[in-house]
Amino acid sequence: MQKKTIHSIGILTAGGDSPGLNAAIRGIGKTAVGHYGMQVIGFHDGFRGLMENRTIRLTSANLSGILTIGGTLLGTSRDKPHKMPVGGKTLDMTDAMVDTYVRHQLDALVCIGGGGTQKNALRLKEKGLNVITLPKTIDNDVSGTDVTFGFDTALGIATEAIDRLHSTAHSHHRIIVVEVMGHNAGWLALGSGIAGGANVILIPEIPYDINNIAESIKQRSRAGKNFSIVVIAEGAKSKEYAQDLEALEIAKQGVEDKDERKEIKAKIKALEEKHANNTLQLSKELERLTGLESRVTILGYLQRGGTPSAVDRLLATRLGSAAAHYIHQGVYGIMIAARGDGIEPMPLESIVGRRKTVPFDHPWVETARHVGISLG
């Protein structure tokens, strides 16, 4: 593709907040403005700000001092271009976003976010916009990249929390159940559990048997170890739940009748709602099966907050700077992926609809088993 002078680019951050977002914005902006002489504007609150044309001019002055700050100076939201709540209705506002892009005479739009953001960016690409994305999420589940920024910071926070809970577990002879984020991928639970010396780690990819967990805890008790740390991803599921959910999903695929499909969807929703309190239910059941007192700590949004780690700042800055470079080269429709110490442009079509989950034979899984950690 022939190179051309880039006059103006836009940036937005979408989905959940994540450590390193400001570092990425800064990396894009300082490279675009200082190195390539571009003009940069930011859109407030993700795709909604793009739709509503709410902008801020990003200059060297207002990019200064944001590297170490958590969150995002642009704000974020989970709004989708094609399903956006507007005036009490859910509307496709993609064309309004295209109009904003054209109004500002943008040469490219950088969308920073997780898997959902990659999908939404592809929709804008299909509408003719020049789009580049960056992968961020503490879950580390974006396909096509070695790692996402935000993950390292969350990993450190979760590990520190587990470290601190060890003393309470040991002092009171308790089971401490620690819930970390991760609906569909267990990277955060697995990594922090190994680093924090957990005795049991439960992740979405490996359905668990609670009797196996209880037995591993009782074995510790018989060996004179009067406490246990259980790290569980919020999306971890029992074998029974996983089987019931899979059966309903398979049944739904084979049904064409709308009423029958609606009924199956209602059953799936009810099953998922029951599973929402899974960690608390697990704790109570472990208490009953082992005879040991059990307590739950849910880390929640703590994992997203605060100052990004040096690793995340470096990664976000590298990816952001690379985005400005590819825009200058006239290369669009890509996600900037981390590859070792380098980067690789990945076509959005190869990313969307895929999720990077923990493989059963991943080295972290093997390590956990080798050091005696129960995976349920």
pLDDT, tens digit, for every residue of 270-285? Answer: 878 878 889 999 999 9
Angle at 311 between CA 36 and CA 34, to 5 degrees: 15
Question: Annotated catalytic sites, by residue?
Answer: 139
Instruction: Reduce the DSSP state of residue 44 to 3 states and report it.
Output: coil
| Model confidence pLDDT, tens digit, residues 140-189 | 999 999 999 999 999 999 999 999 998 887 777 789 999 999 999 999 99
Higher pLDDT among residues 15 and 276, named by residue: 15
CA distances from 94 to 91, 121, 374 (A): 9, 11, 47
Which pLDDT score, from 0 to 100, does residue 5 have? 60
Q: H or E segment at 344?
A: strand 342-347
Q: Give the whole-angstrom CA distance, residue 134 versus residue 132.
A: 7
Contact predicate 358/139, CB 8 Å: no
Task: Retrieve residue 179's tokens.
Answer: 């819930």
Contact predicate 110/323, CB 8 Å: yes
- pLDDT interval class at 323 (50, 70, 90): very high
Dihedral angle at the C-alpha atoms of 114, 119, 121, 126, nearest 10 degrees?
A: 170
| Model confidence pLDDT, tens digit, residues 213-257 | 999 999 998 888 888 999 999 999 999 988 888 887 787 777 777
| DSSP H helices in the chain | 21-30, 46-52, 60-63, 94-103, 115-126, 151-172, 187-195, 210-222, 239-253, 258-275, 278-290, 310-329, 348-351, 363-370
Q: Give the whole-angstrom CA distance, residue 343 versus residue 360.
A: 26
- Structural domains for the chain: 8-149+308-351 (3.40.50.450), 156-304 (3.40.50.460)
